[in-house]
Structure 1
Amino acid sequence: MLKLGYKASAEQFGPTELLEFSRLAEQSGFDSVFISDHFQPWKHHGGHAPFSLAWLGALGALTSRITIGTSVMTPTFRYHPAVVAQAFATLGVTFPGRIVLGVGTGESLNEVPSTGMTWPDFKERFARLREAITLIRRLWTEERVTFEGQFYRTQGATIYDRPATPVPIYIAAAGALIAKYAGRAGDGLICTSGKERELYTETILPKVLEGRGEAGSRAPDYTRMIEVKVSFDTDMKRAMEDTRHWAVLALTPEEKISVHSPEEMERLADDLSAERAASRWIVSTDPDEHVERIGYYVDLGFDHLVFHAPGPDQERFIRLYAEHVLPRLRRRFGALDEARKSA
């Protein structure tokens, strides 16, 4: 079944505002809320970085229906994997069937300032992620876990409060190697919109499918989640200008991956043109155009769409999108959902 979610922009808003927006998203018909896990935001002036684990507990208590989770957390540097396992086990017991742990290999902006570490290359970051997921899953399913890994160790560890069914783990992927691993080891995939079509059709999705084949699982049992960047308003000028708040997303991975200062990240984003700032977003005042352009991702095979809106008036976005876009998406793709389920 196609799920339609709301991205709680932790880098842009404080924790109380985010809770109100997310509660409104549930009341307005969104199916999920996902929050990023940042120690530092993308910009210094006006930036925010609430602690996602505490925030998820508060959101779970304020809501009753929506799926909630991280998009994404790095369980390898600031956090020992055992701490992440305990935290999400507690969330899973408290809010059964509603929790997702979304993970990725990390960015220096979050990990270097909080640890003082030297930022490692991708090979080590990926190895740490694989080892962390292995340990987390063992802690969710076994007792007295003694783990002797390359990076992490436990001695007779037991998590006493854990859900009967382990929390799903979604793995963020932007390239072939980790996409295949996400298919093999994950319960779902996380990626972002606005990239070249070939990245999805020739790399990420085929590699996920290849990984699922190695895991011995049927691909339709797997969640393919994508954060879709949308700027929707009745005023086109306002919809365009709103994307300036997230110009940083137009930076290439090479431009930002090793930057660990919010001031420097803010400077790089501010130097971008308005056109480049808007390049990653679906910007339109026409709800049918939004449906058409979002449908592109559904047709590729994504079945959980999490909408990230860039503007400061999130309440306005939630109400407008819930009224004009979500019903159209459900009408258009409801039949497709039924066809996929029966396939």
Structure 2
Amino acid sequence: MKIGLALSCEENAPLALVDQAKRAEAAGFHALWISDHYHPWNDEQGHSPFVWSVIGAIAQATDLPIITAVTCPTVRIHPAVIAQAAATSAVLTGGRFVLGVGSGEALNEHIFGDAWPEADERLDMLEESIEIMRLLWGGGQQTYEGVHYRVSNARVYDLPDTPPPVYISGFGPKATKLAARLGDGYCTTTPDQELIGLYRSEGGKGPVQAGAKVCFGRDEQAARATAHRLWPNVGLPGELAQILPTPTHFEQAGELVTEDMVAETVPCGPDLDRHVEALREYEQAGTDELFVQQIGPEQDLFFDEWAPAVLSKFA
């Protein structure tokens, strides 16, 4: 299993993200995941830069592959515009860009007052958006008439030599089957052997990517408190992450999440064996590439001590 770095646009300012990308390359991380949000999950996280600008800056600062984790190309931004953004990113990175897509969250997509569709409709919209993007990446002037979208005489002029791969996120059986049928790869955030197995059994042949969080620090209790303060939403069950519309709502729901609940899924503190054990769960579930995010301000400690100790444990 290869280890990459997950860049959190919710927790970091634009220049900090570029700096972390450069440090990831120097430390030997495999590739970069970067989140695409309009809002952070809560105000404690405090950031949310425009991901396409950050990708352009990172493309000139490192030679690492970059994957969006993930972009919603259905409501907030029309898929024809995402097609242009992804093509430009692929050109700037010399073909090292992968477009990760998903059906999105109301947190980011509600901002124009559009109705937030039910899950099945969101997946239909996602499928149509992928069709549009691939049509435009084929070159030439294109017109498209679908159930959810129209495209009229559109052409993306700056195209990479090879269209960007499209990896599809899935946190339930329907989305996972869609990823197997249409995706060039599959994205998840849990070591769910059942869903990863479903992706493979349904014909998914591309890489399985996953994201994990850690909070490495000298003091375990302080690290647990940091993880709980910044990311209580990791403990929210079911579809809440998809349907709550504002950071305030996530803060309210997060009051139900205890520090122990966060620490159950996020390894916290200085015990490197515990960190490695947590990452091994993803490897055992069938993950090919795991992207790790360090929670909180202890970035120097993460790159200087965590990275050399942990990366050497994985292929």
Name the residue aligned to 2:197. 206
Alpha-carbon shift at residue 293 of structure 1 (Å):
3.0
1:5–1:305 Cα contact (<8 Å) kept: yes
Look up the SS of the partner of 1:123 in the other structure.
helix
What's the TM-score, normalizing by structure 1?
0.87
Alpha-carbon shift at residue 171 of structure 1 (Å):
0.6
Deviation string for 1:290-341 (max 9, x for gaps)?
22332222122111000022222223222222121111223xxxxxxxxxxx
Deviation string for 1:63-101 (max 9, x for gaps)?
1x2111210110001111111111111111121231011
Look up the SS of the partner of 2:176 in the other structure.
helix
The alignment's C-alpha RMSD in Å is 1.7
CA separation of 1:321/1:45 partners in 2, compared to 1, >3 Å: closer, same or farther?
closer
2:2–2:314 Cα contact (<8 Å) kept: no
* Letter paired with 2:170: A
2:95–2:160 Cα contact (<8 Å) kept: no
Q: Distance in 2 between matches of 1:180 and 1:70?
A: 20
1:21–1:315 Cα contact (<8 Å) kept: no
Alpha-carbon shift at residue 289 of structure 1 (Å):
3.2
1:31–1:66 Cα contact (<8 Å) kept: yes
- Pairing 1:226-245 to 2, within 5 Å after superposition: 226-244=210-228, 245=230
Name the residue aligned to 2:144. 147
Q: Distance in 1 between matches of 2:164 and 2:201?
A: 23
Alpha-carbon shift at residue 45 of structure 1 (Å):
4.3
Name the residue aligned to 1:70. 68
Alpha-carbon shift at residue 62 of structure 1 (Å):
1.1
* Letter paired with 2:47: H
Alpha-carbon shift at residue 257 of structure 1 (Å):
2.7
- Pairing 1:1-343 to 2, within 5 Å after superposition: 2-63=1-62, 65-112=63-110, 114-193=111-190, 200-202=192-194, 204-212=195-203, 219=205, 222-244=206-228, 245-330=230-315
Look up the SS of the partner of 1:312 in the other structure.
coil
Deviation string for 1:17-55 (max 9, x for gaps)?
121122111111111111111111111245111000111
Look up the SS of the partner of 1:279 in the other structure.
helix
1:180–1:210 Cα contact (<8 Å) kept: no
2:100–2:166 Cα contact (<8 Å) kept: yes
* Letter paired with 1:6: L
Q: Distance in 2 between matches of 1:269 and 1:318?
A: 29
CA separation of 1:45/1:192 partners in 2, compared to 1, >3 Å: closer, same or farther?
closer
CA separation of 1:256/1:165 partners in 2, compared to 1, >3 Å: closer, same or farther?
closer
* Letter paired with 1:100: V
CA separation of 1:290/1:45 partners in 2, compared to 1, >3 Å: closer, same or farther?
closer
Q: Distance in 1 between matches of 2:279 and 2:242?
A: 27
Deviation string for 1:166-223 (max 9, x for gaps)?
11111110011111110111111110126xxxxx233x1232113326xxxxx3xx11
Q: Distance in 1 between matches of 2:64 and 2:94?
A: 11
* Letter paired with 2:304: R
Q: Distance in 2 between matches of 1:61 and 1:6?
A: 17
* Letter paired with 2:313: R
* Letter paired with 1:52: V
What's the TM-score, normalizing by structure 2?
0.94
Q: Distance in 1 between matches of 2:96 and 2:307?
A: 21
2:65–2:93 Cα contact (<8 Å) kept: no
* Letter paired with 1:201: Q
Q: Distance in 1 between matches of 2:286 and 2:104?
A: 26
Where structure 1 has 5 or more consecutive residues not aligned to the other structure, the ranges are 195-199, 214-218, 331-343
Aligned identity (percent) is 36
The total of aligned residue pairs comes to 314
Alpha-carbon shift at residue 230 of structure 1 (Å):
2.0
* Letter paired with 2:198: K
Instruction: Please list every run of at least 4 consecutive aligned residues from structure 1 whose deviation after the TM superposition is greater than 4 angstroms.
Output: none
Q: Distance in 2 between matches of 1:37 and 1:259?
A: 17
The structure whose residues are more often helix, as a share, is 1
